Amino acid sequence: MLVSAVAQEQSNTGNLPKIKVETVASHLEIPWSIAFANDGRIFFTERTGNIRLIDKDGKPVEEPVGKINVAAIGEGGLLGIVLDPNFEKNHFIYVYYTYSDFLKLYNKLSRFTEKDNKISDEQVILDKIPASSIHDGGRIKFGPDERLYIGVGDVSDRDSAQDTDILSGKILRINPDGSIPSDNPFPNSPVYSYGNRNPQGIDWDPITGKLVETEHGPSGEMGLSAHDEINVIEAGKNYGWPKAIGNPNDPNFVDPIFQTGDSTWAPSGASFYSGDKIPEWKGKYLVATLRGTHLEVFGLDLDNKKVVSSESMFQGIYGRLRDVEQSPDGYLYLLTSNRDGRGSPSTDDDRILKIVPDGSSPAVPEFDSSFTVLSIASALMIALFYTARYIIKRQSTIR
């Protein structure tokens, strides 16, 4: 096993945008993923099984668009959501969720048809994807090629990440109907990349078209932790897990362009910002972090595969951040994840937040000291719990 313990150097730009943060929806049940229709509606998932809606006027709709029977166990449940590129015509919504079949957990990708703010007609696109209460992946997105990309964690079977005949520990690529693209790197296989421990965020740079992924590093396996990664994903390439961690510079594996060294951020959803509402962030790669409790804004040089700048926003203010996505009109939305059993929820959690321009001054949202006290207490309790579990099982999963 190859390990590099040194994180890449980062530089802060110091060019803070003039922004403020608004609450769009509150008192949610662990929102996980968000998707935008061009007509102004916003769809999002709650891990407990609800597909929810914010209407064209920006108001949350009380009645769910749909309820799915999921196995909301640990990190499993109703996870990713994405709208079909031709949603305005076909009204197709794709979701990724965990279910139980004779006491065994699986994930599946299903397509529903939306009409009048309700879903029906479930069509299973890809089934029997390995699942677990930890390292369950779940991010789905359409690429510029209109293929579906799926992040699948190693589901605590770390060696499976190196086996291209098994779907866990991979990024998958399929056609919208579930068939295998003819140009996939492995014949008749949805596997696009492998050696990925727990993919969390995926998005494409609008300039180069390159796919960039966020990934959780180890959290106790083999006595190691941290080393969260940002990777440039290429077809058929091996990203090392569990044989290589960090930047070992081994020609058999692709090194991350960034890794956190001995710090744990638990990066989650990620997006390239291409809008004009926050010009300072245009072209930047935005990463929501769970354990890190901040939004990291990266400037990337993808031609040379390196980070050229970074800045941390909202540190500790909103707690665990699950996803960051750009709406069609150029605004940014954040999903908190403080009710997932690993955070310290405020009375309004969980929330969907909207980042908007503020013409007055570079805005830093008000510091919530009560939240921080709760966060510290919760962190201590979580640390004690997982330390005890690691001693028993030799594995911890704080993320």
What whole-number distance in Å separates Cα of residue 37 and Cα of residue 28? 20
Across the beta sheet with 92-101, the strand order is: 78-83, 92-101, 104-115, 118-130
User: Is the dihedral angle over the CA atoms 121, 128, 48, 266 positive or is it negative?
Assistant: negative
Cα–Cα distance for residue pair 107/71, rounded to 1 Å: 9
CB atoms within 10 A of CB 33: 26
Cα–Cα distance, 249 to 254 (Å, whole number)? 8
Secondary structure class of 21 (helix, strand, coil)? strand
Q: Where are the domains of the chain?
A: 11-24+265-399
3-state secondary structure 90-139: HCEEEEEEEEEECCEEEEEEEEEEEECCEEEEEEEEEEEEECCCCCCCCC
**Residue 325: strand pairing partners:** 333
**Which residue from 220, 324, 206 is spatially nearest to 268, judged by alpha carbons?**
324
The vertex-44 CA angle with 41 and 47, nearest 5°, equals 165
Smallest Cα–Cα separation from 17: which of 357, 309, 285? 357
Along the 399 residues of the chain, how does pLDDT read in single tens digits? 544 444 444 444 457 799 999 999 999 999 999 999 999 999 999 999 999 999 999 999 999 999 999 999 999 999 999 999 999 999 999 999 999 999 899 999 999 999 999 999 999 999 999 999 999 999 999 999 999 999 999 999 999 999 999 999 999 999 999 999 999 999 999 999 999 999 999 999 999 999 999 999 999 988 889 999 999 999 999 999 999 998 888 999 999 999 999 999 999 999 999 999 999 999 999 999 999 999 999 999 999 999 999 999 999 999 999 999 999 999 999 999 999 999 999 999 999 999 999 975 454 433 333 334 444 444 444 444 444 443 333 344 445
